[in-house]
Amino acid sequence: MPDAQKAIENVGRRVAELREAKGLTQEAFAEIVGMQVQNVRMIESGRPAGAREATR
């Protein structure tokens, strides 16, 4: 696996860990950061959303 893909997956896991530590659902987190929930899910699973698609 390329290093860039590993980094993306690590960031996604860390985002999920921090979100869960705060007791937030993906939906609540998406609302707070101004993203669509589908993009939060993609990021957390290691599939980065494009910057244009990530924001509302």
Following CA atoms 31, 14, 9, 30 in sequence, which dihedral angle do they give, to the nearest 10 degrees? 0
Q: Would you say the C-alpha torsion 39, 40, 45, 51 has a positive or negative sign?
A: positive
Query: What tokens does 56 get?
Result: 């509302």
What number of CA atoms fall less than 13 Å from residue 24's CA on the CB side?
Answer: 16
Summarised one tens digit per residue, pLDDT across range 47-56 is 866 655 555 5
What is the Cβ-side half-sphere exposure of residue 33, based on CA atoms within 13 angstroms? Answer: 16
Domain ranges of the chain: 3-54
Superfamily of chain region 3-54: lambda repressor-like DNA-binding domains (1.10.260.40)
pLDDT of residue 2: 79
- Express each pLDDT in 31-49 by its tens digit: 999 999 999 999 999 986 6
Mean pLDDT (whole number) for 21-28: 98
